[in-house]
Amino acid sequence: MKKFLTGLAVLFALSSGMGAAEDAKAPPPDTKKASPEVRKEAPAPVQKPQGWTPFQLVFYPGMPSWAENSTVYGLKLGVPMTGGNGSVTGVEASFLYSGTRDVTGIQASWFGVANSHGLGPDGKGATIYGVQAGPTMAFTHSFYGLQAGSVSYVTQHSCGAQAGFANVSRKRLDGFQTGLANVSANEFNGFQFGPVNYVYKIFNGFQLGAVNIFSGEAFCGFQTGIVNVCTGKKGIQLGAVNVIADSWLPFMIIFNISL
């Protein structure tokens, strides 16, 4: 009996050792969860310019979508808004907003903003050839013709006339500015007429107003008004107060000149 019990104990010990060995050889369970598959959405198809049309009705820039890059020879009408990266040769008109990138003819908004903006495939900014008018604001990269609005604003070299309560030319303007405040932030070649006229850097022309200010060095022109100020060395001024800051005679009444 004793031998029988001893044999059972030996068999039990051997079986336990074999089970432990098998457990040691077994690989640990994989606790990592499979990452979910990432689905890549196909990019939206690029709209290509459409064929030309003599008339186009638009409800909002991009609505309908085929009007976004279209070419219109005739009338593009926004009810109440229009716009896009195409072009209009003729008239673009709307109730609130007219914003097609390139216009040859007239771009107008009866109650809102005329805004020609954006860069074309050639990298050039939007351009108006003709008339841009908006009672609230007229804005474009460049224009050749007339820009009129409560605020008229152009960012690049332009040629023509700006008219409104406030007129701003950021780069260079060759032509005419008339309004309550006329500002040329870089170069102005032409005629400024209004209560306040200001040219920042280069001035070739004539300022007529209550207050005329030129703050650059390259001056070739004439100022006439109640107060005329040149911060450089050159100027020709006719008015009640005339200041040419760096001239040999910086202050004069009635008339001052330094060339």
CB neighbours of residue 135 within 10 Å: 16
pLDDT band (50, 70, 90) for residue 55: very high
Alpha-carbon dihedral 66, 67, 68, 71, rounded to 10 degrees: 110
Please list the residues that pair with 179 across neighbouring strands.
164
In this predicted structure, the answer to whether residue 25 has a pLDDT above a threshold of 80 is no
Is residue 204 pLDDT above 60, yes or no?
A: yes
Beta pairing, strands 235-244 & 158-169: unpaired
User: Is residue 79 located within the same domain as residue 152?
Assistant: yes
Q: Are 141 and 103 in a shared domain?
A: yes
Q: Domain for residue 195, yes or no?
A: yes
Domain shared by 186 and 146, yes or no:
no
Domain boundary (126, 156, 186) is at 156
What DSSP state is assigned to residue 226? E
Mean pLDDT of 19-40: 50
In this predicted structure, the answer to whether residue 40 has a pLDDT above a threshold of 60 is: no
Number of domains within the chain = 2
> 197: domain range?
173-259
The answer as to whether 15 is a domain residue is no
pLDDT given at position 214? 93
SS (H, E, C) 26-93: CCCCCCCCCCCCCCCCCCCCCCCCCCEEEEEEECECCECHHHCCCEEEEEEEECCEEEEEEEEEEEEE
Asked if residue 79 and residue 134 are part of one domain, the reply reads: yes
